[in-house]
Structure 1
Amino acid sequence: MSSEKRASHSDAEKVEIAQNGEETAHFAAERGHVATDQHGNSLYHLDPKVEAKLRLKIDYMIVPTVSILYLFCFIDRANIGNAKIAGLEKDLNLTGYDYNALLSVFYISYILFEIPSNIVCKWVGPGWFLPATSLGFGVCSLANAFVHNFSQACAVRFLLGVFEAGMMPGIAYYMSRWYRRAELTFRLSLYIVMAPLAGAFGGLLASGILTLDSVGSVKTWRMIFLIEGTITIGLSIIAFFTLTDRPASARWLTEEEKEMAIARIKAERVATSTVLDKMDKKKLWMGMTNPVTLGTSIVYLLNNITVQGLAFFAPTIVRSIYPDKATVTQQLYTVPPYAVGAFFTVLLPLISWFVDRRQIFMIAAAPMTVAGYAIFLATTNPNARYGATFLITSSLFALGPITNGQVSANVISDTARSSAIGLNVMCGNIGGLISTWSFLPSDAPNYPIGNGLNLASAGTVLVVATLMLLWMKMDNKRRDGRNVEEELAGMSQQEVEDLDWKHPAFRWKP
């Protein structure tokens, strides 16, 4: 399509593009042109078959790399649980609450650096930031193999938290540059599913590593950190060459595909003239003060008390259920619940994609967790308690992609999206910090305090998520009564864009 022909189209026209794959979204991708009218309706229509082909190409090029990086991100964080029952506590002379304190140190740095890391991710570009931060936590994981006391272990875990802080929100923000609102939650699940898979794969990998006599001069639990850290470093170096920062710089997309990739994202962002806006303090603040971001962050905080607690204490919980089993067998018992969790982590977001809803899945996930922890509190029967872990994992991990997809769907600008996701994940990791004190040595072997805390957290998720859904519907009805033309009269394009979710045509996406 010629530049003259593109220029002839006004922003008020709805134009068919990408018909039979021959035309492209040139005019939709042009800088300075909005892709919606002032009521938020898309001005452009993309041929579904052509768009599906482009989406599949993006899937193949983006999802595998970030998924593998996140797999080892979670393994490098949670492998301390495997090392614990393989002799770490004894060799480092950890007593009392030392292990819990060691876990907490990680979350202190993780929480402090969460939002700053996502801001740096936007500033540097995720194509460079994600491999770099992955390389950093790979080095820290490897360093765990050479600590000899509590202080050294705390120092390494603190640095591990610094580098891992930007990984989960960074990937979520990165993928929001490539996918539509409805598509995003499922794609997020394809990397967040690596958390339960890390529990399964990490248990298998730790079991295999522990069958070795040594790796050089490194023995027992130290081999877990040495081998897994080395793998992470290697994957990070490869990622520097495989990750593409944004559609416009993707060498594996044609010019037409680049423009279509940009246009389809713009078409969902009311009054937006550019997909990647300049960083702005006001928009950063808009992302963090968004009511849906705040409510979702509370849900994710509560959910993560259980998610992270399970990651760190699953081997310990299994040992309390099957105390007479060998260490390697105990490690293997942690695998099946995580495998079931991985299945539901993908299934629920997949359904979410087709119905373009997220809030209802936050509500639906809570009862299974409530039931699981109720069983833990009600009985000490080992078979019943082991069965309860399947109920818990089948709902827990799905809230990772669902909550991040929800905050992403309910802001407009790229900058607001980066801070909204950063806040959500930061709050999630406050839950992770709480989880490090949920299973105390004095509470063993049945852990009524830890199980009670998780039961209460899941019940509160149910209440908060339900109230959020009711509020979103109520506020959308209130917004229906606003006069868009009147409220936007006299405002410049920049002032309109700065409104973000306060734009009168914006509606909450439940």
Structure 2
Amino acid sequence: NGLASIVGSAAAVGIASMGNRYGISAWQWGYIIWGTITVAVGITCFFALIDSPNSWVLQLTEEEKEIVELRTRDNAVVRKQTVRVAQYWEALREPRLWLLCIASLAHNLQNGGLVTYSTVLVSGLGFNSTQSILLQIPSGAFTVLYCGFAVYLNRRTKQIVYTAVVCYSISALGCLLLAVLPNTGVKLLGYYLSWAQTGSYVMLITVIGSTVSGYSKKIFYNGANMLAYTVGNFCGPLMLVESTKPAYVPTMWGFFACNLLNICCFLTVRFILARINKKRLPERSSEPTDVYLNLTDKEDRNYNYQL
């Protein structure tokens, strides 16, 4: 998303300068150009994208196949063709699922609002339309930097949840500045800080990947997250009410509250799973669990939640 924002913003200025060529407006050219590229890339991926780590296209050596096998075990999930409905019900009964969905929904309320109204928010600070588009390039760069920062911090500390909390804290500060600072160019600081939430979303996906086992259960968790992601991005722009422009102060306070809510959700998830880890510690076996049994993290008493 960050790289797309950088390239897209720069390209948008060029497309805007095309004017009414061949009887087609500049905004229509944008849909034609990016739509064509999207379709071309989609077709290419459909035929060329490898769908399995054991694909013959990779021409893996025996040593590489063994590495793939070990990585599969590390992921604690093996692809299955049968659906285990019991794993769906297990997921629905876990508070963790609902907390992560609430976090994803609240996260994407801000994401959807800021993405949709990005140029409107910046132009409201006194910049013209071209400047407002060009100032999206730094926001894309900050998005990339925040994601890199989150990954780096997680690798150094081995603390997924606390890394997300740090990023949400930075984002909350940005939203607070957007809510309280005068409506001038200085607000750009808050705008760019607010994108720190992108690093948190990387950690949210990582939490699902590292704390959920069982193929059907993991699919369900990811599906629920995608549903919350979609609803959040749909409803987020609706929070920016016309009567509160150009600063949208009530909305910024709402986004600030969303960041605080996400921090609470993540810390609660960590508290729940840390208690389970502590309880299981005396029960763990020295023999690793066979991942091909397709056990869930709840069924596998050897499973250790990475937090």
Give the superposition deviation at 1:268.
2.3
- Give the structure 1 partner of residue 215 of structure 2: 414
1:392 and 2:198 matched: no
Q: How far apart, CA to CA, are the structure 1 residues paired with 2:292 and 2:43?
A: 42
TM normalised by structure 2 equals: 0.89
- Give the structure 2 partner of residue 84 of structure 1: none
Q: Contact (CA 8 Å) 2:164, 2:201: kept in 1 or not?
A: no
- Give the structure 2 partner of residue 256 of structure 1: 62
- Give the structure 2 partner of residue 233 of structure 1: 39
Q: How far apart, CA to CA, are the structure 1 residues paired with 2:294 and 2:46?
A: 33
- Give the structure 2 partner of residue 405 of structure 1: 206
What SS class does the counterpart of residue 239 from structure 2 fall into?
coil
Give the superposition deviation at 1:313.
0.6
Gap change, CA 1:450 and 1:474, over 3 Å in 2: same
Gap change, CA 1:494 and 1:210, over 3 Å in 2: closer
What do the CA deviations read for 1:204-245 (whole angstroms, capped 9, x no partner)? 121111111345332121111111101111111222333100
**More displaced, 258-267 or 410-419?**
258-267
Q: Contact (CA 8 Å) 2:178, 2:187: kept in 1 or not?
A: yes
What do the CA deviations read for 1:339-398 (whole angstroms, capped 9, x no partner)? 1121111221233245443111111112111211111221224122111112111x1111
Gap change, CA 1:483 and 1:258, over 3 Å in 2: closer
1:282 and 2:61 matched: no
Give the superposition deviation at 1:439.
0.8
Give the superposition deviation at 1:468.
2.1
1:223 and 2:29 matched: yes
Amino acid at match of 1:252: L
- Give the structure 1 partner of residue 103 of structure 2: 299
Instruction: Tell me the percent identity.
Output: 16
Gap change, CA 1:261 and 1:276, over 3 Å in 2: farther
- Give the structure 2 partner of residue 331 of structure 1: 133
- Give the structure 1 partner of residue 276 of structure 2: 475
What SS class does the counterpart of residue 373 from structure 1 fall into?
helix
Q: How far apart, CA to CA, are the structure 2 residues paired with 1:506 and 1:224?
A: 49
Aligned match of 1:247 in 43, 46, 53?
A: 53
- Give the structure 1 partner of residue 163 of structure 2: 361
What do the CA deviations read for 1:100-131 (whole angstroms, capped 9, x no partner)? xxxxxxxxxxxxxxxxxxxxxxxxxxxxxxxx
- Give the structure 1 partner of residue 225 of structure 2: 424
Give the superposition deviation at 1:433.
2.4
Gaps of 5+ in 2: none
Q: How far apart, CA to CA, are the structure 1 residues paired with 2:302 and 2:205?
A: 23
Q: Contact (CA 8 Å) 1:377, 1:451: kept in 2 or not?
A: yes
What SS class does the counterpart of residue 277 from structure 1 fall into?
coil
Gap change, CA 1:481 and 1:234, over 3 Å in 2: same
Q: How far apart, CA to CA, are the structure 1 residues paired with 2:296 and 2:280?
A: 14
Give the superposition deviation at 1:253.
3.1
Give the superposition deviation at 1:500.
4.0
What SS class does the counterpart of residue 79 from structure 2 fall into?
coil
1:463 and 2:267 matched: no
Q: Contact (CA 8 Å) 2:183, 2:247: kept in 1 or not?
A: no
Q: Contact (CA 8 Å) 2:213, 2:295: kept in 1 or not?
A: no
Amino acid at match of 1:414: Y
Amino acid at match of 1:357: Q
TM normalised by structure 1 equals: 0.55
Aligned match of 2:4 in 191, 194, 198?
A: 198
Amino acid at match of 1:330: S
Q: How far apart, CA to CA, are the structure 1 residues paired with 2:29 and 2:93?
A: 45
Q: How far apart, CA to CA, are the structure 1 residues paired with 2:291 and 2:71?
A: 19
Q: How far apart, CA to CA, are the structure 1 residues paired with 2:144 and 2:93?
A: 32
Q: How far apart, CA to CA, are the structure 2 residues paired with 1:200 and 1:309?
A: 18
Q: How far apart, CA to CA, are the structure 2 residues paired with 1:369 and 1:346?
A: 15
What do the CA deviations read for 1:48-86 (whole angstroms, capped 9, x no partner)? xxxxxxxxxxxxxxxxxxxxxxxxxxxxxxxxxxxxxxx
Q: How far apart, CA to CA, are the structure 2 residues paired with 1:453 and 1:310?
A: 12
Give the superposition deviation at 1:428.
2.2
What SS class does the counterpart of residue 255 from structure 2 fall into?
helix
Matches for 1:152-163 after TM superposition, within 5 Å: none
What SS class does the counterpart of residue 248 from structure 1 fall into?
coil
Gaps of 5+ in 1: 1-194
Q: How far apart, CA to CA, are the structure 2 residues paired with 1:495 and 1:337?
A: 44
How many residues are aligned here?
A: 304
Give the superposition deviation at 1:479.
2.1
Q: How far apart, CA to CA, are the structure 1 residues paired with 2:240 and 2:208?
A: 30
Gap change, CA 1:368 and 1:217, over 3 Å in 2: same
**More displaced, 224-233 or 196-205?**
196-205
1:502 and 2:303 matched: no
Q: How far apart, CA to CA, are the structure 2 residues paired with 1:225 and 1:300?
A: 29
Q: How far apart, CA to CA, are the structure 2 residues paired with 1:483 and 1:405?
A: 24
- Give the structure 2 partner of residue 382 of structure 1: 184
